[in-house]
Amino acid sequence: MNITIIGLGLIGGSMGLSLKEKGLAKKVIGVDNNLHHQQKALELGLVDEVLDMNAAIAVADVVIIAIPVNAAETVLETILNRIDRQVVMDVGSTKNAICAMAAGNKNGRRFVSTHPMWGTEYSGPEAAMRGAFEDKAVVICNKENSDIDAVMAVEKIYKTLGMHIVYMDAKAHDLHAAYISHISHITSFALANTVLEKEREEDAIFELASGGFESTVRLAKSNPAMWVPIFMQNKENLLDVLNEHITQLRKFKSCLEKENYEYLLELIEHANGIKRILK
């Protein structure tokens, strides 16, 4: 089949690379507004050719939308209004708004809403990685709103990428994503700003930064063009979890202020419970 990928960044680029290597796509066609991204994607072999959007949709069997979530919603509407037989899927980190939009479109059943649970803090075609999605989970949302053949085509793509599929309601997805992924990014951005604010001696950071610091602050390198729209779309859930997180931090603060080290011990022992989930 011909696969068109709109957005040749970390996710779109990595998908192109893998789908070409696995031989699932007869041809991978790329679409990107950014000329530098177009050239890089061709150079790195992420896509076979680059076309403009209309031409790329016309020849596609499957269209993958891999751009920031606000732009994805707009582009999806444009695409749905132009297609006849094609399958369209997105790969964004928020699902409720885009699913609602598709549900109101006459061709909305050609759309399958997905979220592959893989990423890094880097962006652009240079960030694309071989074997990126292997053994990770992918969420397919509201599949009852999609045509069966469309869901099957998308499942085939993800199985080819080596992913295991989880089905979820779009609203539930956004709630879980806020707790598990989006808040991690907020805390990491805030921690980076804290350190940059308090620690004027960057040499000291550089010398002392060990693995622990690196792992908690790593996500703070992430691309704002991707994350601002995610935070906008998932605002309500995120505020809920952010309030809880500030409450939890205040408990640590209060333990230190009151020198209540028994409770501090309890808080840490409770946090150790994450071992049940993360091996």
Distances (CA, A) of 217 to 43, 184, 196, 273: 32, 10, 11, 22
For the bound state, the minimum distance from the C-beta of residue 205 to its own copies, rounded and expressed in Å, comes to 5
Which of these segments, 12-20, 47-55, 60-68, 187-195, binds its own copies (CB under 8 A)?
187-195
Q: Tell which positions 15-54 bind its own copies, by CB under 8 A.
A: none
Q: Using the rule CB under 8 A, is 74 a contact of its own copies?
A: no
User: What does the alpha-carbon distance between residue 73 and residue 90 come to, in Å, rounded to a whole number?
Assistant: 9
Cβ proximity to its own copies: between 4 and 234 the closer is 234
Query: What order of strands is seen across the sheet that includes strand 49-50?
Result: 49-50, 27-31, 2-6, 62-65, 87-90, 111-116, 137-141, 164-168
User: Which residue number, 111 or 189, has a Cβ lying nearer to its own copies?
Assistant: 189
Site for its own copies, residues 3 to 22, rule: CB under 8 A: none
For residues 51 and 238, give the distance between their C-alpha atoms in angstroms, rounded to a whole number.
37
* DSSP strand pairing (49-50 vs 27-31): parallel
> Segment 256-275, which members bind its own copies (CB under 8 A)?
256-257, 259, 261, 264-265, 267-275
Sheet strands (E) in 2-110 = 2-6, 27-31, 49-50, 62-65, 87-90
Contact between 207 and its own copies (CB under 8 A)? yes
Our finding on whether 231 is near its own copies (CB under 8 A) is yes
Q: Shortest gap between Cβ of 237 and its own copies (angstroms)?
A: 10
CA–CA gap between residue 104 and residue 173 (Å, rounded): 20
Q: How far is the CB of 273 from its own copies (least distance, A)?
A: 6
C-alpha gyration radius of the chain: 21
Q: Does residue 159 belong to the site contacting its own copies (CB under 8 A)?
A: no
Residue whose CB is less far from its own copies, 66 or 219: 219
Site string for its own copies, 167-186 (x = CB under 8 A): -----x---xx-xxx-xxxx
User: Is position 199 an interface residue for its own copies (rule: CB under 8 A)?
Assistant: yes
Contact (CB, 8 A) for 101 and 121: no
Q: State how far the Cα of 225 lies from the Cα of 15, in Å rounded to an integer.
A: 20
Q: Does 197 engage in binding with its own copies (CB under 8 A)? A: yes
Q: Kindly indicate which of the ranges 82-90, 96-104, 143-151, 254-262 contains the residues binding its own copies, using the contact rule CB under 8 A.
A: 254-262
Count of other CB atoms within 10 angstroms of residue 270: 11
